[in-house]
Amino acid sequence: MTICIIEPVPMESISVFTIIMFILTTIASLWLFYIASNENKKVIAAILVWLIIVGVLGLSGFYKEVGKVPPRFVFLLGPVILFVLLLFVTKKGRRFIDSLDIKWLTLLHVVRLPVEVVLHSIFLSGLIPVYMTFEGYNFDIISGITAPIIYYLVFVKKILGNRFLLFWNFACLALLLNILTIAILSAQTPFQKIAFEQPNIGVTHFPFVWLPTIIVPIVLLSHLASIRQLLFSKN
């Protein structure tokens, strides 16, 4: 028999400022990706539909249930990561990827700075382990800080070239994969390996469910699309 435990949402422990900052960061991610997609309304509409579906599931407590098979945490990352990867194996998907504006894809990573501030606040509220913050092993804040600098030096001043931009994308992709690994290994699933004293439950609460389902896939796709464009660039 499966035992299902649903923990109450401790929203009172999270400041209104943190919630508002995260919602604004999500909106900024969508807006920057919309610009990077050359204002593709179909794409942004599809993302908004997914955002609403995830939001409703988050409010219902769907992602907070433990003891289910497969683990509900899988539905936070699994579908979107799979979709991102599938884009690269279809001609239509690759055409879309190659049509993205690499300048805006680079600037988009600035959203990772407020994300790190939000994660630290959620940690202080006791919803994620310290490992997932810049006080632990999450160095993703570097990506957010350097994104506007790289954008300025590569696309405005043209001091740095494509090789450096490619290196930066690979480095920041590694930072993203690092925090994703920590988030997965600290979640309440049969695969949990760390942070048993304070597991990663923050991203199962609304509105923070949009971090793994909206922001992370956009950031991941931005890196992969940029790397593909730079590797196959004729310049």
Phi-psi category of 126—alpha, beta or left, where left has phi over 0 and alpha has psi -120 to 50? left
Cβ(53)–Cβ(212) under 8 Å?
no
Cβ(164)–Cβ(155) under 8 Å?
no
Q: Give Cα 198 to chain centroid, integer Å.
A: 21
- Confidence check: pLDDT of 169 > 80: yes
Query: Comparing 3 with 72, which gets the higher pLDDT?
Result: 72
Angstrom distances, CA of residue 70 to CA of 73, 85, 102, 122, 151:
8, 21, 37, 26, 41
Count Cβ atoms below 10 Å from residue 178 Cβ, excluding itself: 14
Question: Residue 27 and residue 17: Cα distance in Å, rounded?
Answer: 15
Q: What is the pLDDT of residues 155-168, one digit of tens each?
A: 999 999 999 999 99
In which band, very low, low, confident or very high, does the pLDDT at 9 lie, cut at 50, 70 and 90? very low
Query: Comparing 126 with 4, which gets the higher pLDDT?
Result: 126
Long-range contacts of 138-141 (CB under 8 A, 24+ apart): 138/178, 138/179, 138/182, 139/175, 139/178, 140/112, 140/115, 140/116, 140/172, 140/175, 140/176, 140/178, 140/179, 141/112, 141/113, 141/116
Cβ(65)–Cβ(201) under 8 Å?
no
Question: Residue 135 and residue 5: Cα distance in Å, rounded?
Answer: 30
Q: What is the pLDDT of residues 42-68, one digit of tens each?
A: 999 999 999 999 999 999 999 998 888
Question: Residue 171 and residue 63: Cα distance in Å, rounded?
Answer: 31
Two structure tokens written together for 35: 């610009």
Cα distance between the two ends of the chain: 60
Q: What is the pLDDT of residues 176-201, one digit of tens each?
A: 999 999 999 999 998 899 999 999 99
**pTM of model > 0.75:** yes
Count Cβ atoms below 10 Å from residue 27 Cβ, excluding itself: 13
